[in-house]
Chain A
Amino acid sequence: MKCSGKWCVVVGWCLLLAVTGRAGAQGSTSVPGASALSATLSQYHGYLLNETGRSTLDEVNRGLRRSERNIERGETEAARADGARERETKAAELIHFLDTVPSLTDLTLPQPPQALPVRQLTLPGDSGALLFRLNPGAGNPKCVVAELDFSGGRDSADAPGIDPARTTYLLVSLRNVPARTVSVRIFLQVAEGLRYTMPLEIATPKQGRLKLAVLSDDTGKPSPAMIRLVWKSNGSEYRPRNALEFAPQFDTQGSSTGVRRANLQGKLAGNYWCVPDPIDMTLPPGEWEVVVRRGTEHIPIIDTFTVAAGETLDKTYRPKRWADMRKSGWYSGDDHIHFQFLSDVDARQAMTWIQAEDVHLGNILKMGDMNRTWFEQRGFGPDFRVHESDYILVPGQECPRTHDQLGHTISLNITDMVRDTSHYYQYDWIFNNVAAQGGLSGFAHVNTDLFHVHRGMTLAAPKDLIDFVELLQFAELGTDLYYDFLNLGFKVTASAGSDVPWGGTVGEVRVYAHTGRGQFTADKWFDAVEQGHTFVTNGPMIDFRVDKAYPGDELAIQPGKKVRVRARTWGASGFTTPVKIEIVKHGEVIAHAEAPASGAEELKLDLDIDPGEGCWLAARAEGTEGYRAHTTPIYLIRDGLRFWNYDAVDALLAKRMASLDEIDALIAEALDKQAKGEIGTNKWMQELVLQSDVLRQRVQEARGQYEALRKIRDNEAVLRASKAGGVARR
């Protein structure tokens, strides 16, 4: 097929767009490539500019990007024309700005194209950029970016679209440059087969040396810590050389790396490494920022320092405790850590991490699904716990996990893994076996109702099999599902887990259990969780009492007698400062206090309330930037009545029945697929078919149990009427 000239031009232009990848966003402009260059310089190489320059470039870049968007997406011709004018203005501003960059290097290209003389240049460190003005004064300017990342094994890069008739601003962006001197070739592409070769000898400067120690505020001795190290020259994060690599323990799952992107807010958001010992490493010279964290109870340290070439800098940090919950008998835990645990090396890694984050009890979970398991453990039970000081690792399991059916379950403090795929959809069978071992069972991801966990909860709750649920995870407190079950009169303990390696870092959300005074032990911690003496947080602390009752306690109430409700929250100044505290009754806020304009170190509520005919009360707190805390409820029970939300029972039961309908539909779908021969080797479906009768039976049982609740509600109507001396509300 012959190609018409016009068609060839179109194809050629498209090819050029595909190759440069930038021009498509440029359209026609007097300064092609302007936004690509401004973005690259602004995003990665601000070190070439002073602070004012960075700010100016940032504005120019935003203006260019905005104008291009308006040109492409403007709804009217006038809007597109405005965009075009703004682009020209901003492009001119960019060129004017680039002319003032101190490191701009002029280079006149000889004709015809030939190899250019070797140029020797120095970078500030292992990344940086070179800014050239090719053929200054030759004509309308254009911009070109050449990117070279040495981590990919390359040592040359193309600079496409060089026009000898125009002044070209060329930004050579370099990353992961090897130490000392490197020979690089930049190919300045003029046309097909026509190019200049620009050889560069790039030197990186002599590095400085950083010796950085983090001390425990308890002992004054070196402590593991979570550290973030940023080279301010270009915003690059550097891995401390002795940071732990967790990939071997993460069994190829999730974010399987030692770089942990913590689910934290504000100044603390970002990547961290777990550093076991003092750091002693070389770094490029320049200004650095370090963030040192030791978990929720310590005030993070954010510091900047300068590393000088050839010199050693000693830094010692001691993050101060702003809270010591141990003193009042509260010990932190993470109910959801996935980690291979087969050797002392694995144990050392996990122990270092929980110490760095100051999490006292880490539940290390083997994980399974219908087909296999991950994160193998060397054993379960007390003999396989690992203790060091008052930090303890305890093996457990996250299994069964059904993603499309009933949700994910967690069992803690087990003595043997409970797993039999012929019972995989019978969570009650699992939970009962775990209970027989003395373990605790609950549901993961309840905060977001992930994996249809409401279905599994609907089956388990009326059998009183749910010891705990995850209410806080991935920085999100989610209470909808939790409140629904509490409002039906089921006692459920609030818990939290990071779910690393899917989560950011251990203890980024945590559950505190009140173990009381004396030596901290794992058994005490699990006993406290079983009793419901917990609260969850990712920042602020919270203390909650009703009369003398703690979270998880039942409190017998008497007609006409008020109870005293006290709640307090406090946080790390400047990080998790309290904003609000609330008392929640049956899911509704009945009292709250907010921080004054001047801020508050702590917030308190102290009030007497009439508990009516029984209820659950919980406290929840909010810190700056969305940090959250929430207690397990205190259950206020009037003789003969449930603590449920009596007025909402019908609606709540309807939700549970709908969940059971969903399970019936799943079973029906599996049986239908089987009848049509569509199941094949899908074990999830095979087992659903095999277990369909018994699962249906569970559903029927649950329906009966919920219907029984309806009868209880009806019976209570009479009781409540008599207690209230009138007609009960319905």
Chain B
Amino acid sequence: MGLHRTGILVAISLLFFPSGAFAHADLSEYVQHEATLDAHGEYIDITLQLTFFDELAEARRRSLDRDGNGDISPEEQTALKKALLLEAEKAIVLQADGTGVELVSRFDPEIECAVPGSGGAHLRFVIRLHFFAERPPLPAGGVSLELTDGLLGDIPAMASLRVTGKDGLSISAIDEAREHSRTAGAPASLIFKAHLEKHEKAARNNREIPGRRKKGE
């Protein structure tokens, strides 16, 4: 096994399976998943921002900072980015009206490790993943988009979706049917839903009202 691959596997394991991550005791051991769908021209751009709050962030930073100098080296970042893309390829899926739409990495993942200017040693660890997809054909009434985010599926999550439409495209977040947060002990993908259509609002009149999600309590 090549060193590069070894590095990637180590990075994957550090990112996704750090020791003790699942015995969460408070909100700082949740990861915030913020998805953005930006529809424009012939594309849908997708950004997924993962924010690790202080305890998780500190655990991640410590595990990645193998030389203990308080910084994540470019090499460590590179391995992590590669690992993220590999994992994301499996874990992030976009569908339009139930049909898979190919996602392509648009930019390299961004990794931000920030300590605020004041207020103690609080740490935020932020990862941003950038993808794009060819916009699917838009029939009258538009299409339903479903973004499945299975990243860090075992770690409790808080989630939100932002949408932006340009170039004559209208996109709306749908939340009545969205499985959008999860608690511990229930590994699952987050599902973000939106409706995309051309700006002609007449199409909206033909649109079905989204059904409410059935909860299996």
Contact = CB atoms under 8 A, between A and B. Distances in A.
Report if A and B associate in a common complex.
Answer: yes
Interface of A: 10-11, 13-15, 17-21, 24-25, 36, 39, 42-43, 61-62, 65-66, 69, 73, 152, 245, 247-250, 252-258, 261, 263-267, 269, 369, 371, 401, 403-404, 445, 448-452, 454, 474-481, 483, 502, 579, 582, 587, 589, 592, 594-599, 622, 624-626, 628, 655, 658-659, 684
B4 A24 contact: yes
Nearest to B32: A502
B99 to A, nearest CB: 16
Q: Of A10, A42, A476, A628, which is in contact with the most chain B CB atoms at under 10 Å from its CB?
A: A476
B107 A43 contact: yes
12 contacts: A17-B2, A20-B78, A24-B82, A43-B130, A69-B102, A253-B28, A264-B162, A403-B25, A403-B156, A477-B176, A502-B32, A628-B175
Nearest to A263: B160
A625 B175 contact: no
Contact of B172 (A62, A247, A474, A626): A626
Interface string B149-181: 000000010111111110000111111101011
Interface of B: 2-5, 7, 24-28, 32, 34, 36, 43, 51, 53-54, 71, 74-75, 77-79, 81-82, 85, 89, 102, 104-108, 114, 116-122, 124, 130, 132, 156, 158-165, 170-176, 178, 180-181, 183-185, 194, 200-202, 204-205, 209, 212-213, 215, 217
Contacts of A369: 25-26
B109 to A, nearest CB: 11
B26 A502 contact: no
A69 B107 contact: no
A451 B105 contact: no
Contacts of A253: 27-28, 53-54, 122
A450 B158 contact: yes
Nearest to B28: A253
Nearest to A258: B116
Contact of A255 (B51, B159, B162): B51
A622 B209 CA distance: 11
Contact of B171 (A65, A73, A625): A625
A13 B3 CA distance: 9
Given A369-B26, A595-B204, A625-B171, A269 B162 contact: yes
A266 B164 contact: yes
B27 A403 contact: yes
A448 B122 CA distance: 27
B42 to A, nearest CB: 9
Which 5 residue pairs across A and B have the least CB separation, nearest first? A21-B78, A247-B119, A626-B173, A14-B2, A252-B122
Given A14-B5, A624-B172, A655 B217 contact: yes
A402 to B, nearest CB: 10
A684 B114 CA distance: 31
Nearest to A21: B78
A21 B79 contact: yes
Which of the listed residues A264, A269, A595, A658 has the most CB atoms from chain B within 10 Å of its own CB? A269
